[in-house]
Amino acid sequence: MPNAANYIVIAGSDRAAPLHGARAVGSVPSDERFEVTVRVRRRTMLGSLAANGFHSDQAPTKRKYLTREQYAADHGADPADIAKVEAFAKANGLIVIETSLARRSVFLSGTAGNFAKAFRATIQQHEHDGGTYRGRTGELSVPAELAPIIEGIFGIDNRPVAKPHFQRSKPLQGLRPHAGPAGSFAPPDLAKLYSFPSGLDGSGQCIGIIELGGGYRNVDIGAYFRKLGIPAPQVKTVRVDGATNKPSTSDSDDGEVMLDIEVAAAVAPKALIAVYFAPNTDQGFLDALTMAVHDTTNKPSVISISWGGAEINWTTQAMTSFDQALQTAAALGVTVCCASGDNGSGDGVGDGKEHVDFPASSPFALGCGGTKVIATGTAISSEVVWNESIDSATGGGVSDFFPVPAYQSVTGIPGSANPGGPMGRGVPDVGGDADPATGYQVRVDGQEFVIGGTSAVAPLWAGLIALMNQKLGQPVGFLNPLLYGSLVGKGCFKDITSGSNGAYLAKSGWDPCTGWGSPNGTKLLQALGG
């Protein structure tokens, strides 16, 4: 057994402080059992794929994507690396539950005592207003021979890391068609207002949706789509890390789940909707993302994520591993749409500084910001940045963690609004209706609501992308380089030039409130080759 001197700290594993408002109340019992995910390095880097154009300003029809099987064989984990982690785990009394070359993961089960010893972790129980969690502070370490292999360890700390980005407006007395000025919308009405291409239904596509709580009822889905006069979609549950489809009451996270399903499926009703349920921890969230990206059964071509949290609340190892998973999605031709947050430029942190929401801030995510839409008849008469209050406004701004990506280098990303803040990745990339006052008509646990938030924008865009993928016969994949390159000036977006999200103002062209603006789906499809 290696001694402490032979251990090396895992870069980025430092967990600086408890969850806000939480306090340590004692050690976790040494015999408490739980599961941990160990992420290992790629066999070969993805940089060699640049020639295939998956991260270039190249038309989707000219890109060459890897299949999931090709990725696993060429860029997944090295079996020899997996074997070394397995041997280390067994030497420390840990049980190997499963391994995945594609997901570059070794899934372990063991006791708190064994994990603490194996990774030199201090594990304590914490209490906060929302309950309790098993937490750690400080860094994690592994033997020197494993240090180049292991990139992250997730699951020792099971604090909640994300929140759903949706906001309720008011109960409805039955779903109705477009409600006129300042009214709410059924998703198909917004699809028409945004000129989504007609004659397409998402056939042959799969939309993956990641959920970290809540659930859905098929009876609600059936009733909702009957009222819309649209065939009910095929919805499939995928369980991750023991989580389940667990609907409860209409004031729970069920609102997020149903919003995501109903918006995406109303836009693309013939697409398979695969819902990946996972625990709300960094381990659960990451495992759900890698499960969806590498799912060889359902094969989603687009993934919608309506959960997130301010960058400051994530460990470096978590953001790095998520970003790598999103880069892998790009190489596979999978677009990942992420809500940019509902608490303005401060992202709800409350420390007097500005923050962007993660994973929307990853350069490989399609960050989705929010607008307020007013329509007259069948046309938009006004669309401005969504901002009703400090805690009811679109997220957006400048990343403190990710540098400005190459595709944004000539966009005019502003400096951080934080004094001395770095130049970073600008968020979001695109926008869409999010204000709950002009929100989406949905059904949740037998009740009908108007719900808004950038949570609605991610599945709206996911539905549009499914339609475009159907028409093109090939995934549009990683859209960001195109948005900032060849698509500029093609009329693909309605530029939102009025409003702010707190520290940042809307302006002509890209801005850190709604990105390039809301879509003109037909023109976007045409510009992409459809």
The two structure tokens encoding residue 40: 């290992």
The predicted model scores a pTM of 0.95
Stretches in the chain below the pLDDT threshold 70: 1-5, 17, 47-56, 170-182
Annotated active-site residue in 184, 304, 455, 500: 455
Residue type, 334: V
Is the domain of 115 the same as that of 258? no
The whole-number pLDDT of residue 13 equals: 96
The residue among 154, 171, 187 that closes a domain is 154
- With CA atoms as reference, report the closest residue to 334 among 57, 73, 55: 55
Annotated active-site residue in 260, 287, 311, 511: 260
Which structural domain range is residue 513 located in? 163-408+418-527
- Is residue 455 flagged as an active site residue? yes
The whole-number pLDDT of residue 180 equals: 35
Residue with tokens 């060849």: 486
Dmax of the chain from CA atoms? 73
Beta carbons within 10 angstroms of residue 353's beta carbon: 18
The two structure tokens encoding residue 313: 């609340």
The whole-number pLDDT of residue 194 equals: 98
Is the domain of 96 the same as that of 217? no
- With CA atoms as reference, report the closest residue to 294 among 150, 157, 471, 99: 99
d(CA 210, CA 104): 19
d(CA 317, CA 320): 5
d(CA 511, CA 388): 19
The residue among 119, 154, 189 that closes a domain is 154
Is 46 a domain residue?
Answer: no
Is 58 a domain residue?
Answer: no
- Is residue 351 flagged as an active site residue? no
The whole-number pLDDT of residue 55 equals: 64
Is 50 a domain residue?
Answer: no
- CATH number, domain at 303? 3.40.50.200
Beta carbons within 10 angstroms of residue 131's beta carbon: 9
Is 133 a domain residue?
Answer: yes
d(CA 265, CA 440): 13
DSSP state of 333: T
Number of domains in the chain: 2
Is the domain of 106 the same as that of 177? no
Is the domain of 369 the same as that of 396? yes
Is the domain of 147 the same as that of 176? no
- Is residue 295 flagged as an active site residue? no
Annotated active-site residue in 35, 256, 342, 445: 256
Burial class (CB in 10 A: 0-12, 13-18, 19+), 433: buried
The residue among 124, 154, 184 that closes a domain is 154
Is the domain of 207 the same as that of 336? yes
d(CA 148, CA 91): 19
Is 365 a domain residue?
Answer: yes
Is 17 a domain residue?
Answer: yes
Is the domain of 334 the same as that of 285? yes
Is the domain of 343 the same as that of 480? yes
The whole-number pLDDT of residue 1 equals: 41
Is the domain of 130 the same as that of 179? no
Is the domain of 131 the same as that of 189? no
The whole-number pLDDT of residue 16 equals: 78
**Radius of gyration of the chain from its Cα atoms, rounded to whole angstroms:** 22
The whole-number pLDDT of residue 327 equals: 95
